[in-house]
Structure 1
Amino acid sequence: MEKLVNISYNQTGASTNVDAMGMREMQRMVYEQRNRKYLLVKAPPASGKSRALMFVALDKLANQGIRKVIVAVPEKSIGRSFRSTELKRYGFFDDWQVSDYFNLCSGSDDSRKSARFKEFLRSSPNRILVCTHATLRNALKEVRDEELNDCFFGIDEFHHGSADAYNDLGELIRRLITSTSAHIMAMTGSYFRGDQMPILRPEDEQLFMPSVNYDYYRQLNGYKYLKSLGLGYQFYTGKFITAIPEALDTTKKTLIHIPPVQGRESYAKKYDIVADIIAEIGEVVDEDAEHFIKIVRTPDGRLLKVGDLVEDNVAQRAALQSYLQRMDRKDALDILIALGTAKEGFDWQWCEVCLTIGMRASMTEVVQIIGRCTRDCEGKTHAQFINLVPCPDAAQEEVSVAVNNMLKAIAVSLLMEQVMAPKWDFRTKRDDDEEVVDRKNRVLHVKGLAEPTERAKAIIENDITELKATVLSSDILKQAMANDAIAEVITQSLIPKVIQEKYPTLTEQEVECVRQQLVLSIATQGAEVTVDEHGREFINIANKFCDKGVELSKLSINLIDSINPFQRAYEIMAKSLTPEVLRAIQFSIEEQRSDMSIEEAVLLLKNYLPKYKEEHHGAIPTLSDTEPLAKRIALAIDFVAKKKREYLQTGKL
């Protein structure tokens, strides 16, 4: 297996230490913003978002005129994070108290939940209710807007919402904003969606800005025990079960997610797949009948406790889930096999490895799964995410599907490196500036960098990771890999289009500000500053165009624009795949290349055609040219000629 990312941390303990009020670092950051009406918190699993909400909600009840608190979670199992909690004993002024009657995530009687919700709003003296997103959506259909005034809504896993008019949770949030005086605290560990649909409409998103950001790096760097995280992909041919012996280390506490039932990686019924995986682990010799935990003897004689969440039997699943919720010791479980569960909000602090079988097109899902193994606990020093994915077969008919999935995998891996690693803060560099880099604060000064407006600055500070996710999962990545010599086209023509589509209200100047920061972020990902024997400082960018580093005093946005920031994706593929498969992928990419745009054609003809003619004694490039840049210029010439003909015929471009 090729480990694409392996990051070490300093184990400072900062993210888990508590202050005199019982708050951890992230919770203090959130509490400082407690007076805001709309608050968005972006923080990874295990950072303490649920308790942060408790602190804010109790302050709103005591000091801000809020009369009711409603917490909504995506599924019942996550509701346990919001059960009654003692806070006063750790220094806070009040405890979080939720009555069993109004904890609508407990029990199995769903028929009365909407009625209880209305009772809570209209007549109950109780102040706090916990429910699922589904219960909230259903109950509010029967509640008038004025009944929601002066209420505080805590929306967990906020990325389930969407700006799409057909997304019920998104429309509910919009209703609270436009038609009531309700306060909202939205929380998520991954503020982006797999379908690239924005979570909030731009005008609504502005109300939540600036958000409270507590990134993965800050969280993991502040742990006491966990000091490194590995992210990697392993490829298999044929059936994935043949790769399980190599991918699965049975000495590690492991969470296995099998492929979706309808996924191309599923070769049998889900129960048979689970049985095959257990057979690879060892022989079932016993079973805990009360909790439905299988006892499996490995070939070397060890006895492992294996849980099966794929099982559909209601009683068995309920017994196992209850067991998982009450686990309080490391030896309670060794391996857990799941399908659609054990992702968001699932807490197994001893989990060391997440083995995910099959492609996950949603980056949100990948982030959530990784979060299952990154909880800090004594004795765990390393966490590992492994994605076991099919290797495209050059002979198979549906190679384009495999290629598309492979590109998604690469995009996710690059995104994860960005999420997990510290980021540079880019600032304008003028010619007379003396200070170039501040290593302590990771500030990098760049010549020619545009000064952002407040709106552009909010996007740069809060959404650069999500924007990168959008870029990396779009057709831009395919074009970048197919045309890596034409970096300027990618950075100045294609990327601005993505930004404009995601933020349609931005001005041209604001798009340019965001573009510059995005390209800088990608190009300097994983970069380090070094000093040579003459005392000159260099930034070493992980790219074939900058093998020797770039002198910091010469770093400029123009230089960065000349570097293809996606080149590393190509290099990762070259490391991980055979030459035969790589050739098949390149062929498929060439076939699927997007049509040329007017902006790209103008850029090529204006900046590159004159250079080509000068170097080739006035010759014009042709489509048969073997040089990729020359071929692309020829395509631009044909494209412009075609557009001219269309204009002469129709009067329209």
Structure 2
Amino acid sequence: MTSNIFEINYNGTGHSQNINTLGMREMQARVYEKRTSQYLLVKAPPASGKSRALMFVALDKLMNQGIKKAIIAVPERSIGKSFQSTELVKTGFFSDWFINPQNNLTDRGTSESKVSRFVKFISSSNPEDNIMVCTHATLRFAFNQLNNSDFDNVLLAIDEFHHVSQDNNSVLGNAIRNIMGNSSAHIVAMTGSYFRGDSVPILEPTDEQKFDKVIYTYYEQLEGYKYLKSFAMGYSFYRGRYTDALSEVLNTSKKTIIHIPNVNSGESTKDKYDEVDRILEELGDAKFDENTGLWLVTEESGRVLKIADLVNEDGREKVQEYIRNMAKIDDLDIIIALGMAKEGFDWPFAEYALTIGYRNSLTEIVQIIGRVTRDSSNKNHAQFTNLIAQPDAQDDEVMFAVNNVMKAITASLLMESVLAPNFNFKRKDNGDQKSNGTNIFIKGLKEPSTNRSKDIIQNDLNDLKASVLQDNQIQQAIAAGVEAKVINKQLIPRVIMNTYPDLTNDETEEVRQHLVAQSVIQSAEREEGISGKQFLKMANKFINIDEIAIDLIDQVNPFQRAYEVISKEIDAPTLRFIQDYMDGIKFIFSEDELIMLYPQIVQFKKENGRIPDKSSSDQYEQRLAYALLRLEQLRRERQDG
């Protein structure tokens, strides 16, 4: 059975779907306000209308800002249809969006011919030859045949921008950096998932600071839907073969997308075709339909399911064509996929995402969730379930399995914040300042002192939380039950410094306080609800909302729920194994951490009249004591050297 980590309910205001006098939805209007920015990063969920928002901005740049050409690059051909010619004048805009068919390079054709067409497009002087859609791959190949200056006065829009990376092996990332540094190009970057918690950052901090940002949250989008009223995220453990556990987690009355495990994962049988066959067998009597490329599966009840197999390469084009052209709710029931049906995939009727095996990318999780969180009249609830192999303390690979479970749960907790409202925090300077709604006054809170820390606090807290939750040492601390102030004041600052190496100590502390406050208050709001209430529950205590102080917040572990969930669901021997293992590696320090901890050691000695004691029952003091021992050890090593 699925154990839901959380379920969030929405009010269905319809606001996100309403349009203004220019024909723009709420998110699109917000992007259009920034239309004059040379570099613009748009972070918004699926179905919020990013493609049309780009059309509005691109047309304004082409007609009013001196931009000569607009190039839209998408990760795969199927997403190109989102940017096809569209009538915009009839809903109030000043121009329609028109693409010459020869400039839609997401249609069929050879890579060589598309690159050739791209190069000709760049050099064309025809004023009507001004908009092109291509794939990321075509852009990469064409870039190698062009000079940076060829992109002068060109708008380059990158859809699904998380494909860009600052890794030296990222051709697309290098291309973007070169174009930014050596041309007058304008860049619009669009993504529904831009998480630093993934392995390689997308942009270097110095490059990212050049971008204006428009953030439209999942919460704003779902709160403004008409039909979809709730979303839940859960997980279920299985032993043996995952196909044997499908009956416990699968409801075939729901429009479902099943993502089977990556072939390199521990959950995979290494035979993806056999896995598809086993799933079909579990569902019923399967027969292949030559006309559509679908599997027609008859259940015991006699009901016939229409199932699309996107795992097998043979016949995949026919299935994809069927999916592109279907329009009715009864046209399809289930999709089985491996690497497909994630980003940019549009099946509005989908309401249940069953993902088998741990996904190490938060971006991938968000993309999969995006497939089922579109508004549609057939659903009022959407569900994401992660089916994970049950860890076994007797297994030689137990730590690998445990690490996967920890990451799956922490990723889920991140998603809970993405899908919940954000709070606005202000420093409380007098008793007349009262918290209300999402505006919270906190005693002792450091306000952002620079534009840099203000930008991170306003735009990047969820991305930063992804980095915190994916940090191995913090995961270990969560599992070991390390005290809250150790996590909040020692481990989290280290992650912030690694993520934003350009920050000063003061800026780091400002960001830290807002990150911890956001996480703790969101957790308290989930427990009790804040709106209209005078008290909220923090660390099993009821606190007057107008008496909240940063010192009190630092005593609360914002990620305690991860430990509570894992200890509840995993058997006792496995839990003890986790705790024993984590306790053995609890005090490991990097050089940056020691530099950060030294002032805390000095402050402890000043306040207590003694150095911290490693045998103390207080974990904060213990960690300071071990840090002091390590500092003394390093000092002796340098003296001896």
Common fold, TM-score beyond 0.5? yes
Q: How far, CA to CA, are the matches of 1:507 and 1:602 in structure 2? A: 16
The alpha-carbon deviation at position 102 of structure 1 amounts to 1.1
Q: How far, CA to CA, are the matches of 1:257 and 1:155 in structure 2? A: 26
Q: 2:503 aligns with which of 487, 503, 506?
A: 506
1:307 aligned onto 2:308:
yes
Match of 2:140 in 1: 137
Match of 2:636 in 1: 645
Q: Are the aligned partners of 2:86 and 2:96 in contact in 1 as well (CA < 8 Å)?
A: yes
Aligned residue runs from structure 1 range 148-297, under 5 A: 148-193=151-196, 195-209=198-212, 211-284=213-286, 286-297=287-298
The alpha-carbon deviation at position 517 of structure 1 amounts to 0.5
Match of 2:594 in 1: 598
The alpha-carbon deviation at position 423 of structure 1 amounts to 1.2
**CA 1:36/1:268 → structure 2, altered by over 3 Å: closer, same or farther?**
closer
1:457 aligned onto 2:459:
no
What amino acid sits opposite 1:64 in the alignment?
Q
Q: How far, CA to CA, are the matches of 1:32 and 1:136 in structure 2? A: 28
Q: Which stretch of structure 1 is more off in the superposition, 626-635 or 132-141?
A: 626-635
Q: How far, CA to CA, are the matches of 2:210 and 2:252 in structure 1? A: 48
Q: Are the aligned partners of 2:88 and 2:94 in contact in 1 as well (CA < 8 Å)?
A: yes
Q: 1:434 aligns with which of 432, 444, 447?
A: 432
**CA 1:193/1:501 → structure 2, altered by over 3 Å: closer, same or farther?**
closer
Q: Are the aligned partners of 2:614 and 2:626 in contact in 1 as well (CA < 8 Å)?
A: no
The alpha-carbon deviation at position 601 of structure 1 amounts to 6.0
**CA 1:175/1:631 → structure 2, altered by over 3 Å: closer, same or farther?**
closer
Output one character per residue of 1:509-535: Cα deviation in whole Å (capped at 9) or x when no partner.
111111111111121223239999xx9
What amino acid sits opposite 1:395 in the alignment?
Q
Q: Are the aligned partners of 1:232 and 1:387 in contact in 2 as well (CA < 8 Å)?
A: yes
Q: Are the aligned partners of 1:359 and 1:387 in contact in 2 as well (CA < 8 Å)?
A: yes
1:493 aligned onto 2:490:
yes
Q: How far, CA to CA, are the matches of 1:19 and 1:530 in structure 2? A: 37
Q: Which stretch of structure 1 is more off in the superposition, 365-374 or 262-271?
A: 262-271
Q: Which runs of 5+ in 1 are unaligned?
A: none
Aligned residue runs from structure 1 range 413-562, under 5 A: 413-430=412-429, 432-439=430-437, 442-452=438-448, 453-482=450-479, 484-528=481-525, 537-541=534-538, 546-562=539-555
Q: Secondary structure at the match of 1:162?
A: coil
Instruction: Give the TM-score normalised by the residue count of structure 1.
Output: 0.92
1:381 aligned onto 2:341:
no
The alpha-carbon deviation at position 594 of structure 1 amounts to 5.6
Q: Which stretch of structure 1 is more off in the superposition, 3-12 or 634-643?
A: 634-643
Match of 1:366 in 2: 365
The alpha-carbon deviation at position 331 of structure 1 amounts to 0.5
The alpha-carbon deviation at position 587 of structure 1 amounts to 2.5
Q: How far, CA to CA, are the matches of 2:329 and 2:232 in structure 1? A: 22
Q: How far, CA to CA, are the matches of 2:255 and 2:222 in structure 1? A: 19
Q: Secondary structure at the match of 2:98?
A: coil
Q: Are the aligned partners of 2:406 and 2:566 in contact in 1 as well (CA < 8 Å)?
A: no
The alpha-carbon deviation at position 559 of structure 1 amounts to 1.2
1:351 aligned onto 2:344:
no
Q: Secondary structure at the match of 1:504?
A: coil
Q: Secondary structure at the match of 1:176?
A: helix
Q: How many matched pairs? A: 632
Output one character per residue of 1:329-367: Cα deviation in whole Å (capped at 9) or x when no partner.
100100000000110000000001000000001000000
Q: How far, CA to CA, are the matches of 1:536 and 1:422 in structure 2? A: 16
Q: How far, CA to CA, are the matches of 1:169 and 1:536 in structure 2? A: 50
Q: Are the aligned partners of 1:478 and 1:593 in contact in 2 as well (CA < 8 Å)?
A: no
Q: How far, CA to CA, are the matches of 1:506 and 1:633 in structure 2? A: 23
Q: Are the aligned partners of 2:9 and 2:229 in contact in 1 as well (CA < 8 Å)?
A: yes
Q: How far, CA to CA, are the matches of 1:152 and 1:217 in structure 2? A: 30
**CA 1:619/1:148 → structure 2, altered by over 3 Å: closer, same or farther?**
closer
Q: How far, CA to CA, are the matches of 2:381 and 2:393 in structure 1? A: 36
The alpha-carbon deviation at position 39 of structure 1 amounts to 0.9
**CA 1:525/1:84 → structure 2, altered by over 3 Å: closer, same or farther?**
same
The alpha-carbon deviation at position 629 of structure 1 amounts to 6.2
Match of 1:577 in 2: 570
Q: Which runs of 5+ in 2 are unaligned?
A: none
- Identical positions, percent: 47
What amino acid sits opposite 2:636 in the alignment?
R
The alpha-carbon deviation at position 48 of structure 1 amounts to 0.3
The alpha-carbon deviation at position 607 of structure 1 amounts to 6.6
Q: How far, CA to CA, are the matches of 2:198 and 2:255 in structure 1? A: 32
**CA 1:603/1:490 → structure 2, altered by over 3 Å: closer, same or farther?**
farther
Q: How far, CA to CA, are the matches of 2:567 and 2:203 in structure 1? A: 38
The alpha-carbon deviation at position 540 of structure 1 amounts to 2.2
Q: How far, CA to CA, are the matches of 1:649 and 1:436 in structure 2? A: 58
The alpha-carbon deviation at position 147 of structure 1 amounts to 2.0
Q: CA RMSD in A?
A: 2.4
Q: Are the aligned partners of 1:102 and 1:130 in contact in 2 as well (CA < 8 Å)?
A: yes
Q: How far, CA to CA, are the matches of 1:503 and 1:307 in structure 2? A: 44
Q: How far, CA to CA, are the matches of 1:529 and 1:291 in structure 2? A: 46
Q: Secondary structure at the match of 1:111?
A: helix
Q: How far, CA to CA, are the matches of 1:303 and 1:602 in structure 2? A: 67
Q: How far, CA to CA, are the matches of 2:599 and 2:484 in structure 1? A: 11
1:412 aligned onto 2:403:
no
The alpha-carbon deviation at position 598 of structure 1 amounts to 2.3
1:318 aligned onto 2:321:
no
**CA 1:573/1:443 → structure 2, altered by over 3 Å: closer, same or farther?**
same
Instruction: Give the TM-score normalised by the residue count of structure 2.
Output: 0.94
**CA 1:409/1:609 → structure 2, altered by over 3 Å: closer, same or farther?**
farther
